[in-house]
Copies of this chain bind each other. A is one copy, B any other.
Amino acid sequence: MNFLEEKILEDGKIYEGNVLKVDNFLNHQIDIDIMRQIAYEFKRRFKGKPVTKVLTIEASGIAIATMLADLYDVPVVFAKKGITVNSTDDKYMSQAYSFTHKHMNNVFVSRPYLSSGDKVLIVDDFLADGEAAKALIDIVNQAGGTVTGIGVAIEKGVQNGGKKLREAGYHLESIAIIDEMDYKTQTIKFRQ
C-alpha cells in the first residue's frame, strides 16, 4: 500500500452514492506533506519525459500543480471554468460536464499560455469520468502542443475515465486507483 492509499484509508470518508470525501487533506484542507509526496511521485513516474508546462483546472488541482511545477521549474497554467464565456477570440475553449454540479462547464485557457512547442503534463486531484482531463487534452491539442502525460492523485476505477484515456494511448499515472468502495463497511479496495 502506498502513502496515498494509506492516507485515504486513514482520513477519507465514504458516503452513499459512491462518494469519497478527502477534503481534509486533498481539496479543501491541504496536507502539505502529502502534496509534496504526490509531486515527487509524479516526477518519478514521468521520469525522462519532457515537461515545459504543468496544466490543471481550477480550483483543487492548483496545489498539486504548483508543487510539481516547482520540482520541474516550469510554469503552471490552470484552466478556468465558467458557464458563460464572453468571447473565444483570445482563448482556447473546451467543455466538461460536471457530475457534481450537473451542468456543462466551459473550460478555457488564454492563448498566450499554451503553444505548439509545449510539452504538457496534465495533473488533477481526481479522475472519474475523465471530463476535465478530456477538456484539457482538447485544449492542448488546439494549441498544437503535446500531452506528455496525465497524473492524477485518485482515480475512481469504477468510472470509465481512466480506461478511456489508457485505451487512447495516453500515459496516465494514478497514484491511488479505487476499484471498489463500500459505504456500509467503510472499506476500499485499491487496484494492485
Interface residues of A (CB under 8 A from B): 23-24, 28-33, 35-36, 58-59, 62-63, 65-67, 69-70, 73-78, 80, 109-110, 112-113
Cβ 8 A contact of A78, one of B28, B66, B70, B112: B28
Chain A contact residues, majority secondary structure:
mixed
When A59-B58, A62-B62, A66-B66 are in contact, do A77 and B30 touch as well, CB less than 8 Å?
yes
Residue on B with the closest CB to A113?
A: B29
For residue A24, which residues in chain B have a CB less than 8 angstroms away from its CB? 112-113
Counting every copy of the chain, the complex holds: 2
For residue A69, which residues in chain B have a CB less than 8 angstroms away from its CB? 30, 32
When A35-B66, A66-B66 are in contact, do A59 and B78 touch as well, CB less than 8 Å?
yes
